[in-house]
Amino acid sequence: GSAGDVLEDNPVGKLKVFIYDLPRKYNKKMVTKDPRCLNHMFAAEIFMHRFLLSSAVRTLKPKEADWFYIPVYTTCDLTPAGLPLPFKSPRVMRSSIQYISNKWPFWNRTDGADHFFVVPHDFGACFHYQ
């Protein structure tokens, strides 16, 4: 085809994303502890999680999934001044990976190549490569 074919292509029904059901300490409990997370400049991770939960691309059957979303709110741990503490993020991310790799087989079959986090801050190159 043409460029028109690409623009008319609809991923719904083709793309499937499985969302891990993690313990609340990785996401919802952080928002309850500090609701400022909903309004700070990195809140995209929360809204992406909420969007995917109600999205047509979501699948409840992990064996059908093309991608696996790990809903960890990496920037929700805020200082009293309301700034995120991203240096804690790698530890939280590693903990979530350990949790899912022990509970489900999907991380282990690809070493996480088909898994993703939403990490909306600009500290990724400094911290998350570790």
> How confident is the model at residue 72, as a pLDDT?
95
Residue 62 has pLDDT above 90, yes or no: yes
Helix, strand and coil in the chain, % to nearest 5 = 45, 10, 45
Alpha helices in 63-120, H assignment, sequence order: 89-103, 106-110
* Residue found under tokens 């919802």: 28
- Sheet of 17-19: strands edge to edge? 58-59, 17-19, 67-69, 115-116
Least confident range of 7-16, 18-27, 29-38, 103-112: 7-16
Residue 124 has pLDDT above 90, yes or no: no
Average pLDDT of the residues in 34-56: 90
pLDDT at 11: 61
According to the model, what pLDDT value does residue 10 have? Answer: 64
Res. 122: pLDDT tops 80: no
Residue 9: the pLDDT is 59
